[in-house]
Amino acid sequence: MKINIRGYITHKEAEKYSDCADRYAANTSNNHFAIADGVSKSFFPDYWADILVNEFVTHDLDKELSIENCQIVWLNKVADKVNAPDVKWYTKNAFIRQEPGLATFVGLRIEGGKWFASALGDSFLFFVPNGVKGFDEWIKLSSKPLPIVFDSFPDYYSSRNKQHGEIKRIEHSLVEGTFYLMTDALSEWVFDKQNKAIEEINEKWHNQEEFERSITELRLLNVLNNDDSAILIISVENDGENNLTYGDVEIQNLMELVEKEKDSEVETLVTQKETFVEEVKSSNLNKVSISDNLPIKKENQQIFSTEIKDEIELSQNAQVIFNKCLSVYGKSLKQMESIITSIGKFSKRMKISVEEQKKIKEKLKEYGISFKN
């Protein structure tokens, strides 16, 4: 059997790669694969998710995830942070309160003509055998009970305590087909769109750039929740050999994205500052406040209620893209430009002309946002 792997990952809208708490890992020497989603409101969830997936894929002998080992590694790593001289008061307090990191998890291993998977929480494994079209015939694994309802209360592994919920395990003979391991936002979308979602993944997601463009578009269309999103796509082909071999392995390294992000921070816009409070205070004194650091048209800075009149008319799609640009104001100019150009140029559903792209940039200038030529 021959295996090809693709893996892509991105962060929530208006956040950074360094904020992303999803993780995945693959080890082609022992055929172990894993994905985890750190619960964003827990303590150092990114560390916890990272430790879980790496523990799973690196230990040949431990077929079960050794949570105790993971907990020790997490605690040591967090303790280093807490003992640093520049530690924040809230980080120290949370450590004293013994707050845990939490994460959902899916692990897959292939061995001796069979595959074995385990899951906890609302990250999913889907296996779609070749030639199978019906959603009901796919193999699906998570620990969520039926009927599947996505909510804010998934099962999870805890970095300090016993897991929450029952781990689900399955095993099957290995046949031709594709495994899709993904975190909850993508899983919910797949449940909703079924074959259409799988078609989109197979046809469009061939590199990180295409993946990110698709994610931005799906969020714009309100069919994908604004959450960290990660996917491992593992296809299995019968090449007539008994042994497993690997063909294309293209897994986006999150840390590379984080490093690139650091390099591009020179282009980051000024920190977003809300000025409406000053405007309200000034209006109470019949004064007009002028600030040069805000996402509001200069001629409208003295008003804050209803009458923003735009001379530049945009089409419906362009307006949606324009609004999305404003939502990442204060984050990254590059992110904003990517929304305009890549969605405008490549999206089937949100495509806009080059002229419209220029109009969006012109309109953004009125909000103090300028792009380099």
Q: Which is nearer to other proteins, 116 or 304 (CB)?
A: 304
Q: How near is the Cβ of 56 to other proteins at its closest, in Å?
A: 22
For residue 142, what are the CA distances in angstroms to 122, 128, 231, 304? 6, 15, 15, 47
Does residue 44 bind other proteins (CB under 8 A)?
Answer: yes
Residue 60 interacts with other proteins (CB under 8 A)?
A: no
* CA distances from residue 45 to 1, 19, 37, 42, 183 in whole angstroms, order as listed: 36, 10, 8, 6, 14
The number of residues that bind other proteins (CB under 8 A) is 50
Rule CB under 8 A: say whether 94 interacts with other proteins.
yes
Two structure tokens written together for 10: 């991105």
Is residue 320 near other proteins by the rule CB under 8 A? no
User: Which of the ranges 39-47, 191-199, 262-270, 334-342 carries the binding residues for other proteins, by CB under 8 A?
Assistant: 39-47
Of the candidates 113, 115, 118, 138, the residue with the CA atom closest to the CA atom of residue 127: 138
Q: Are 48 and 159 in contact (CB under 8 A)?
A: yes
Binding status of residue 306 toward other proteins by CB under 8 A: yes
The residue assigned the tokens 């919920």 is: 165
Q: Give the 3-state secondary structure percentages of the chain, helix then strand then coil, rounded to 5.
A: 40, 20, 40
Does 288 contact other proteins by CB under 8 A?
A: no
* Shortest Å distance, C-beta 46 to other proteins: 7
The least CB distance from residue 123 to other proteins, in Å, is 18
Q: Is 292 in the site for other proteins (CB under 8 A)?
A: no
- Determine if 289 is a binding residue for other proteins (CB under 8 A): no
Instruction: Determine which residue in the list 66, 83, 98, 195 makes contact with other proteins, applying CB under 8 A.
Output: 98
Residues in the chain: 373
Reading the block at residue 203, the tokens are 């046809």
Using CB under 8 A, pick the residue from 166, 276, 291, 312 that binds other proteins.
276
Which residues 6+ apart lie within 8 Å of 335 measured at CB? 328
274 is an interface residue for other proteins by CB under 8 A: yes
Among 68, 80, 136, 151, binds other proteins (CB under 8 A): 151
In the three-class reduction of DSSP (H, G, I as helix; E, B as strand; rest coil), residue 341 is classed as helix
Sheet holding 124-129, edge to edge: 139-141, 124-129, 177-182, 229-237, 2-10, 245-251
Query: Nearest-CA neighbor of 141 among 125, 157, 152?
Result: 125
Output the smallest distance, CB 305 to other proteins, in A: 5
The residue type found at 58 is: T
By CB under 8 A, tell whether 42 contacts other proteins.
yes
Binding mask 152-191 for other proteins (x = CB under 8 A): x---------------------------------------
Interface residues toward other proteins, by CB under 8 A? 12-15, 19, 21, 38, 40-47, 78, 81, 87-94, 96-99, 151-152, 226, 272, 274, 276-277, 279-281, 283-284, 295-296, 304-306, 308, 323, 327-328
